[in-house]
């Protein structure tokens, strides 16, 4: 019997790898022109270009699947120079391996087709059918400051995440590398061992492999690190204080007798770091009563951590619910940890947040 979701996994891995290659070009070519969006968050030509390349591959293989993606092309339709800059980037970014590039469906015909592909990410999501969630650059702020960022792709079927892939160009390849948010200076060349592709299929475990520029590299199974002494745990959280309540996380750490300072890392790279045992706990504590987390910020990481032996819930202890639309409207915050200690962490979270039953 064929392995479930084998083709979806291969398409996702190669599409993320190609999109990550585009984002690295943008970073190294210092072409990080940003435009700001209605929500005043930054978006770069890398975000738009990566989304176009990922959607092109998904449309080639799975034309009837729905897609929920972070970015839209409206601004580009009104800004020809910006559109042309992104089109030049998309047109010239390929995987080094001809077979892998052909497998993704070949070149996008022209700039208008690129805009239409970007706008294919407008699905409202929901509880029925096959729906892909794309964050072309998660941690755009991190990307702009030369920190961590991730190219994120997940597949939900009837609201349940089945496939998750994270491309983390600035994380160390070495799964045993200590957890650190910085990348040792943006001047570091790729050869110095950065770039990881995390992936998971529901029920099949989680893996990491070097992020390549052509065919997929050899994978290794990964798992969360067993925590025997909670006080020696490492916890990570957002860099942006607007994205997670950092004073509450400090109180939670204190309650757990954790003495190490938090590692503040951008993007879903935090999920990948937990899944391979580099970090132990990920806390994302709401900073507003109204903000709803986007499904594209969590779908891939949620599955990868759970397939690596972790547990991921919101601050009330409920699993993340990807079936209610473009946001995690039923959830507040995120708490991720090895399954064996998740209960202890949640207890401390609920005491600090005043959620204890
Ligand atoms: N108020 C609020 N609360 C929680 N999260 C928010 C909030 N505002 C934005 N965002 C989203 O955070 C995404 C970045 O994720 P991280 O916080 O893990 O990384 S970072 O430290 O912000 O770079 C970031 O994703 P990208 O836009 O893809 O970078 C945002 O979607
Ligand atoms: Mg954004
Ligand atoms: Mg994001
Ligand atoms: Mg993004």
What's the total number of domains in the chain?
Answer: 2
Place of tokens 């590299």: 217
Rounded distance between C-alpha atoms, residue 324 and residue 314, angstroms: 15
Place of tokens 């204890």: 356
Pairing of β 281-284 and β 235-237: parallel
> Do 111 and 243 reside in the same domain of the chain?
no
**What is the 139 CA–ligand 3 centroid distance (Å)?**
6
Domain range for 318 is 230-353
The answer to whether the annotation marks 314 as part of a ligand binding site is no
> Do 65 and 93 reside in the same domain of the chain?
yes
The tens digit of pLDDT for each residue in 287-319 reads: 999 999 999 999 999 999 999 999 999 999 999
Residue where a domain stops, chosen among 222, 249, 279: 222
Q: Does any domain span residue 38? A: yes
pLDDT of residue 357: 67
Share of the chain above pLDDT 70, in %: 95
Residue where a domain stops, chosen among 173, 202, 222: 222
> Do 142 and 172 reside in the same domain of the chain?
yes
Residue range 14-34: mean pLDDT, rounded:
86
pLDDT of residue 34: 67
ipTM: 0.93
Distance of CA 104 to the CA centre of its chain: 20
Cα Rg of the chain (Å, integer)? 19
Structure tokens at 150: 């991730």
Residue where a domain stops, chosen among 222, 242, 267: 222
The tens digit of pLDDT for each residue in 4-19 reads: 999 999 999 999 999 9
Residue 339 sits in a domain of what CATH number? 3.40.190.80
The tens digit of pLDDT for each residue in 69-113 reads: 999 999 999 999 999 999 999 999 999 999 999 999 989 999 999
pLDDT of residue 356: 80
Q: Does any domain span residue 279? A: yes
User: What residues are annotated to the active site?
Assistant: 47, 140
Q: Does any domain span residue 1? A: no
Q: Give the distance between the most distant pair of CA atoms in the chain.
A: 57
From the number of C-beta atoms within 10 Å of its C-beta (0-12, 13-18, 19+), residue 276 rates as buried
The tens digit of pLDDT for each residue in 230-285 reads: 999 999 999 999 999 999 999 999 999 999 999 999 999 999 999 999 999 999 99
> Do 216 and 245 reside in the same domain of the chain?
no
pTM of the full structure: 0.96
3-state SS, residue 263:
strand
> Bigger pLDDT: 176 or 114?
114
Helix (H) or strand (E) holding 156: strand 150-157
Which of these, 155, 183, 149, lies nearest to 167 by C-alpha position?
149
> Do 241 and 210 reside in the same domain of the chain?
no
The residue contributing the CA closest to ligand 1 atom 28 is: 138
> Do 201 and 234 reside in the same domain of the chain?
no
Q: In this model, does residue 165 exceed pLDDT 80?
A: yes
Residue 96 sits in a domain of what CATH number? 3.30.540.10
**What is the 199 CA–ligand 2 centroid distance (Å)?**
22
Distance of CA 175 to the CA centre of its chain: 17
> Do 177 and 193 reside in the same domain of the chain?
yes
Q: Is the CB of 241 under 6 A from ligand 1?
A: no
Which of these, 322, 281, 32, lies nearest to 155 by C-alpha position?
322
Q: Is the CB of 266 under 6 A from ligand 1?
A: yes
**What is the 251 CA–ligand 1 centroid distance (Å)?**
22
Rounded to the nearest 10 degrees, what angle do helices 80-91 and 6-28 cross at? Answer: 120
pLDDT of residue 32: 54
């Amino acid at each position: 019997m064929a392995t479930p979701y084998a083709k979806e996994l291969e398409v996702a891995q190669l599409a993320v790898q190609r999109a990550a290659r585009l984002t690295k070009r943008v970073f190294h070519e210092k072409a990080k022109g940003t435009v700001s969006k209605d929500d005043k968050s930054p978006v770069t030509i890398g975000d738009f270009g990566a989304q176009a390349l990922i959607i092109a591959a998904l449309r080639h293989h799975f034309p009837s699947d729905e897609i929920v993606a972070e970015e839209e092309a409206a601004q580009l339709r009104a800004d020809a120079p910006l559109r042309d800059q992104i089109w030049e980037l998309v047109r010239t970014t390929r995987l080094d391996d001809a077979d892998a590039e052909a497998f993704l469906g070949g070149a996008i015909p022209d700039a208008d087709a690129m805009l239409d592909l970007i706008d294919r990410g407008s699905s409202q999501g929901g509880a029925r059918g096959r729906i892909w969630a794309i964050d072309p650059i998660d941690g755009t702020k991190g990307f702009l400051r030369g920190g961590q960022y991730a190219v994120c792709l997940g597949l939900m079927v009837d609201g349940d995440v089945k496939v998750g892939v994270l491309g983390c160009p600035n994380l160390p390849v070495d799964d045993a590398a200590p957890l650190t948010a910085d990348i040792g200076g943006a001047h570091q060349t790729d050869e110095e061992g950065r770039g990881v592709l995390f992936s998971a299929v529901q029920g099949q475990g989680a893996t990491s492999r070097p992020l390549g520029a052509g065919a997929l590299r050899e994978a290794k199974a990964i798992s969360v690190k067993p925590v025997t002494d909670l006080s020696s745990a490492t916890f990570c959280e957002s860099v942006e204080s607007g994205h997670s309540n950092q004073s509450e996380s400090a109180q939670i750490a204190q309650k757990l007798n954790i003495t190490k300072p938090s590692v503040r890392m951008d993007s879903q790279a935090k999920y990948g770091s937990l899944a391979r045992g580099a970090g132990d706990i990920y806390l994302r504590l709401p900073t507003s009563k109204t903000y709803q987390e986007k499904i594209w910020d969590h779908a891939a990481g949620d599955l990868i951590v759970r397939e690596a032996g972790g547990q991921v819930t919101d601050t009330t202890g409920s699993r993340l619910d990807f079936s209610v639309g473009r946001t995690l409207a039923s959830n507040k915050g995120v708490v991720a940890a090895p399954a064996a200690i998740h209960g202890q962490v949640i207890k401390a979270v609920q005491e600090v947040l005043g959620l204890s039953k």
